[in-house]
Chains A and B, each alone.
Chain A
Amino acid sequence: MFKYEKLSLITTLLILLSFQAVWSFGITEPLPVGLKLLRGDSQRFFFQIQAVSSTNKLECTYTITGMDPLIINFDQDSVTVDAGGVENVYGTVTVPETAPVKTYSGQVMVNCAPPIGAQEGTGSRLQQSMAVQFNLNVVGALEERKTETIPEEQPKVSYIPTFTILVIIIAIIAIVYWFISKRKKKK
């Protein structure tokens, strides 16, 4: 037994942690700020997950606590943020008809980690969580209400179908003109 311990002291080589890439992220307070909603209102919001100094892609999940009984739904349950990138996370908050009139102070918690496999063979799987507050007022009078339309990400529109249709129209006009001209020449 003693021999074994002595041998261990001399030869043990422990490589405990070794992450070969920088990864980190930040999150922003949701926009819009200072919302004042009436019962029955719904409002779109978004916050950003920023991985601007990360050299790894990150897989992130998120939750909101402390907002009951308000109903909050995210468009997606999770998001992948490319290394060096920024992703907007969109959601909708709905105020039930029975919600008390008051200020709600909740917390958005975002948990990110490199995809499984990104740190294989080099040490621990490092998890990072960041939180930010989400404040919202439920008001009782219409004149107190304050809502705001957020800029939604526009779906990428392809102009190819429109362009193709226009080319076809022009081609048809040209062919008709050519046909009429030809007929008149024959006459």
Chain B
Amino acid sequence: MNMVKYTAFIFIIALIVVFSFAIMFPKSFDQIRKAAELAIKTGQLQIGGKNPRVDQIYIEDKACTPSASGPGVLGLADSSVNKVIKAYIADDNGNCNAATATAYVCDPNAATCNQATRIWQSGMTFTNSPDGNVHCNFTVSSNFPLWFYYRWGDWKINVTVSDPSSLYNNTVQYWYYNILNAVEYPYNPTGATIDFGALPTVGEWNDGRGGGGTTGNYIKNTGNIRVNVTWNSTDFTCQSGTCTGDIIPITNSPDSFCIDRDTTRNGGTFSQQCMNANELIQSWYIPTGKPASIQRCTTSACTGATEDDDGGSPNDAYYYQWWHIYVPNVREGTYQDSIQWTGIPCPTCGG
């Protein structure tokens, strides 16, 4: 009798433990339940001579679409994010678990998506089957690294599948790489300063400033679209020292504060763009002979002369930037202004 009681007691305790596990960890419990269900399914359908097919492709568990405007996917500025690609494959022969599948990912520039036009590819491995290997879930062996510099827009994935009899098929479906508008200035992953340094001369221009005195700082497009950047600045006002009440006015007539891609004012390879003290008036920074935008990188580092989206030299996605400032006769001290810059993505700028 005691044995029966003990057994009943242990059974109740076990039920409570299982019940509590299910409440506390519902996802894990569901996975265990599904695994148990699969383990007891033994039926298999055998039909010869049928090609396998790819019914559905997923990126980060979102169903891709047969035409453009697929599910939106987000990238990460100046980084890559690994995306899981899955496919739901069918084979009426009932042996889709033995199929060989490969995923090809193509950017918006590719008219068709295949091995020749892909940005990235990976073999896919069988994960499980809900119905005795008539339908199978496959997932990529290594995840797709979605880099910040890949172009925004409608992307494609081609999943090609073949069975042990070398019968094959493929499907192309779409997803959308959401616009990521990101620009970094000053660009230096280990830390950087915008520093005009000690300006020794008053009553004249101090050219080629911005990164610890007479050096510049890099600006980098860390997103996936060309960006138009506008700058403006308030007047510099005295903050400390013996300059109380003094200001360094920022004006366009005459110019007093300019941004440039070289250290030479009124000359050099690029012309400077000067800004106004009125914060409502913004100055477009338009390099001579270049589109009014910071281009998109085509590599992660983006340091090469041609590693921008037009492929031409110099690099218009990652470059040095300098400042020229005219300092009138003001007294010694520390001056401050307020610089604001605005980045507007330019979907129609190309790239």
Contact = CB atoms under 8 A, between A and B. Distances in A.
B108 interface: no
A17 interface: yes
Interface string B322-351: 000101011111111111111111010000
B40 interface: no
Contacts of A173: 9, 12-13, 16
Interface in A118-136: 123-133
Nearest to B227: A130
Interface in B179-198: 179-189, 191-198
A86 B325 CA distance: 35
B77 A53 contact: yes
Interface in B28-87: 69, 71-72, 74-79
Contact of A12 (B77, B189, B331): B331
Contacts, number: 188
A22 B179 contact: no
B16 A170 contact: yes
A131 B343 contact: yes
Contact of A24 (B24, B180, B222): B222
A12 B202 contact: yes
A168 B9 CA distance: 16
Contacts of A170: 13, 16
Contacts of A26: 77, 180-183, 222-223
B193 A19 contact: yes
A33 interface: yes
Contacts of B196: 14-18
B227 to A, nearest CB: 8
A44 B199 CA distance: 52
Contacts of B168: none
A123 B196 CA distance: 10
Contacts of B222: 24, 26, 53
A107 B262 CA distance: 33
A124 B338 CA distance: 5
B72 A14 contact: no
A48 interface: yes
B332 A22 contact: no
B127 interface: no
A129 B72 contact: no
A25 B342 CA distance: 11
B176 interface: yes
Given A127-B338, A162-B23, A16 B325 contact: yes
Nearest to B221: A26
A5 B336 CA distance: 22
24 contacts: A9-B202, A11-B332, A12-B201, A13-B198, A16-B196, A18-B195, A19-B193, A19-B195, A22-B186, A24-B187, A25-B77, A26-B183, A28-B181, A32-B71, A50-B180, A52-B78, A123-B336, A124-B338, A126-B194, A130-B183, A131-B345, A132-B345, A162-B23, A166-B20
Given A12-B327, A130-B182, 9 more contacts: A5-B329, A16-B325, A16-B335, A20-B193, A22-B186, A28-B74, A29-B72, A124-B336, A126-B338
